[in-house]
Amino acid sequence: MPGRPDASPAAAASVLPAGADDPVAISDAPLRFAAGVDAGEADLIGSAFAEEATVDSAPCGRMLGLDFPPLEGREAIVGFLSATARTRITTPGVTNLRAHRVGEMATLTALVTATHMLRDAPNRRFCMMSRYAADLVRDSERWRMRRMVIAGAWSDGEAGVLLAR
């Protein structure tokens, strides 16, 4: 998409090493996730998740009166978000990151504001603020989210945009 910075897989390689104890290295996982969603880059989204990852957005769905089943496994997460990118433009912003390392694992919380628009009807929009909580593990490359729970805080606009209807 014109005007977007490079979010290619090569950009994903420029992260801090997994061995870093710094909360910035831990916080890079949700930032890779958000950048991948924004750019529709499957490899970048996948770099944020462990192989056996789970994304539970049921708390967010309940706030909206929608049923969001959990996504199980990196392949399912990336597949769902890649399919979503074909019908919607999503621009997430991640703020208030708090990361804490506990041995070989870490926990993280963040606020994410995302605006969703239908590609074929960009005047239809939905914006929401969500609270993210994640458990992370590190591998030889970097920190990756193993479990992410998304709870809605507030929303504005047409919730049907999330379902591409």
Give the separation between CA 114 and CA 127, rounded to whole angstroms.
6
Q: What are phi and psi for residue 104, nearest 5 degrees?
A: -90, 10
Residue environment code for 18-30, b if the CB has 16+ CB neighbours within 10 A, otherwise e: bebeeeebbbbbb
CA 95 to mean position of chain CA atoms: 12
Q: Which are the contacts of 76, defined by CB distance < 8 A and separation ≥ 6?
A: none
DSSP letter (8 states) at residue 141 = S
List the chain pLDDT tens, one digit each, 165 residues. 334 444 444 444 444 444 556 788 899 999 999 999 999 999 999 999 999 999 999 999 999 999 999 999 999 999 999 999 889 999 999 999 999 998 889 999 999 999 999 999 999 999 999 999 999 999 888 999 999 999 999 999 999 898 887
Q: Which domains does the chain have, with CATH numbers?
A: 19-163 (3.10.450.50)
User: Which pLDDT score is estimated for 20?
Assistant: 52
Residue 96 CB-half CA count within 13 A: 10
Which residue matches tokens 């950048």?
35
| pTM listed for this prediction | 0.84
